[in-house]
Amino acid sequence: MRLTQRIIAMFVVMGMALVPQPVFAGADTHFPADWKKWKPLNTVMSQVGGLPGCDADVSSLPAIYQETVATYCALRPEGPGKAQVLVKPASVDAYTARKGKYANGENFILHLKDLKVIFVTGHKGGTPIYGAYTEDGQDITAASGPLATKTCITCHSGFTAFCSNGQCGRVIK
Ligand code: HEC
């Protein structure tokens, strides 16, 4: 093999090792290690008490909540259970204002208390990014299904009349 060919071959092998394999999903956010100090805010989901099981009648709720229940009700036989919105202290004003202007980094959490899981929304270059973790920081973001970032994006960016640059909840006074 000529030297240039060897060098090209070496870079191809190195490149393959560096590029994430398609089967590995992984969060687009980082795990916010101080999340337990974030501020609990009163939103519709916190007030309702969380996410019910698949047999709950949610027909009177807005379409986005019906779809949220349909997406997540089967995570546990009795439904995901208690959920609480937590917001990074520095982002509380922006969340309350709901104008879609958020600092880069991790900003909001949906804490699924009974499942001991946190859903994280952050922003990068002004665009929302997502991740799912266990309470102690294990990345459980999947390649497809309810824990995939594309599922988060479909809903959080799909309901444009309801969500503002990744923020779907709103503070209830
Ligand atoms: C089918 C719709 C749907 C999907 C899918 C979904 N969410 Fe949400 N999410 C919602 C709704 C609705 C709320 C607002 C709940 C409330 O009233 O507090 C919400 C709230 C949140 C919040 C609290 C901040 C906010 O937006 O008010 C975070 C963080 C969050 N979701 C992250 C995620 C992540 C991460 C995923 C993917 C793993 C995901 N969500 C998937 C509908 C969805």
Tell how far the Cα of 110 is from the centroid of ligand 1, in angstroms. 7
Q: Give the Å distances, CA to CA, from 125 to 77, 84, 88, 105, 172.
A: 39, 26, 18, 9, 28
- Asked whether residue 38 is assigned to any structural domain, the reply reads yes
Using one digit for the tens of pLDDT, what is the confidence trace for 136-161? 999 999 999 999 999 999 999 999 99
Tell how far the Cα of 24 is from the centroid of ligand 1, in angstroms. 23
Give the position, in ligand 1's atom list, of the atom nearest the Cα of 154. Answer: 5
Q: Is the pLDDT of residue 87 over 90?
A: yes
Task: Using most ligand atoms within 8 A of CB, pick from 112, 119, 129 the residue to mutate for ligand 1.
Answer: 119
Parent domain of 142: 25-158
CB-based contacts of 167, cutoff 8 Å, min separation 6: 95, 98, 100, 102, 108, 121
- Asked whether residue 114 is assigned to any structural domain, the reply reads yes
* Residues 56, 60: Cα–Cα separation, whole Å: 11
* Residues 88, 93: Cα–Cα separation, whole Å: 10
Using one digit for the tens of pLDDT, what is the confidence trace for 89-119? 999 999 999 999 999 999 999 999 999 999 9
- Asked whether residue 18 is assigned to any structural domain, the reply reads no
> What is the pLDDT confidence band of residue 4, given thresholds at 50, 70 and 90?
low
Kindly list the protein residues whose Cβ atom lies closer than 6 A to any atom of ligand 1.
43-46, 64-65, 67-68, 71, 85, 108-110, 119-121, 130, 132, 147, 151-152, 155-156, 167-169
- Asked whether residue 171 is assigned to any structural domain, the reply reads no
Whole-prediction pTM: 0.89
Q: Whose CA is nearest to atom 42 of ligand 1?
A: 68
Structurally, the chain folds into a number of domains equal to 1
Q: Is the pLDDT of residue 13 over 60?
A: no
Task: Using most ligand atoms within 8 A of CB, pick from 42, 99, 121 the residue to mutate for ligand 1.
Answer: 121
Using one digit for the tens of pLDDT, what is the confidence trace for 34-76? 999 999 999 998 888 899 999 999 999 999 999 999 999 999 9
- Asked whether residue 173 is assigned to any structural domain, the reply reads no
Look at the block and give the residue holding tokens 């990014």.
Answer: 129
- Asked whether residue 111 is assigned to any structural domain, the reply reads yes
- Asked whether residue 2 is assigned to any structural domain, the reply reads no
Q: Is the pLDDT of residue 83 over 90?
A: yes
